[in-house]
Amino acid sequence: GENVEQHPSTLSVQEGDSAVIKCTYSDSASNYFPWYKQELGKGPQLIIDIRSNVGEKKDQRIAVTLNKTAKHFSLHITETQPEDSAVYFCAASIGQAGTALIFGKGTTLSVSS
């Protein structure tokens, strides 16, 4: 079945450093790739997303790249801050209809000051 693998599972960085989280997906029909941030006791919050006709997208300190040939996409956070500490999930759309997403297992990011 469809699968999304996410690495690393934990990531510790110093404030100001960059953080990179990588995901691979298996469904060739996937064409939408969102990233969510989840803080303790809250639901996932969308931080950035990318669609299959785009290779890279940037929003201030956050960027996402997509390589459809390799079925690989990555999240880049620059100039990390303590408030970036949270669990980050990548996801991929399932098939070509509807909104169903398959999620990676998550990366716990810790930013120390």
Partner 1 sequence: KAGVTQTPRYLIKTRGQQVTLSCSPISGHRSVSWYQQTPGQGLQFLFEYFSETQRNKGNFPGRFSGRQFSNSRSEMNVSTLELGDSALYLCASSLQGSNQETQYFGPGTRLLVL
37-76 residues near partner 1, rule: CB under 8 A:
41-46, 49, 51
Q: With contact defined as beta carbons under 8 Å apart, do 107 and 49 qualify?
A: no
Stretch that binds partner 1, among 12-20, 36-44, 55-63, 74-82 (CB under 8 A): 36-44
Name which position in 31, 78, 108, 110 contacts partner 1 (CB under 8 A): 31
Q: What token pair was written down for 63?
A: 């960027």
User: Taking CB under 8 A as the rule, does residue 104 contact partner 1?
Assistant: yes
Q: Which residues contact 39 (CB under 8 A, 6 or more apart)?
A: 45, 86, 87
**DSSP secondary structure string for all residues of 58-96:** EETTEEEEEETTTTEEEEEE-S--GGG-EEEEEEEE-SS
For residue 78, the minimal CB distance to partner 1 (Å) is 23
DSSP letter at 15 equals: T
72-91 residues near partner 1, rule: CB under 8 A:
89, 91
Name which position in 40, 60, 97, 113 contacts partner 1 (CB under 8 A): 97
Which spans of this chain sit near partner 1 (rule: CB under 8 A)? 1, 31-32, 34, 36, 41-46, 49, 51, 89, 91, 93-106
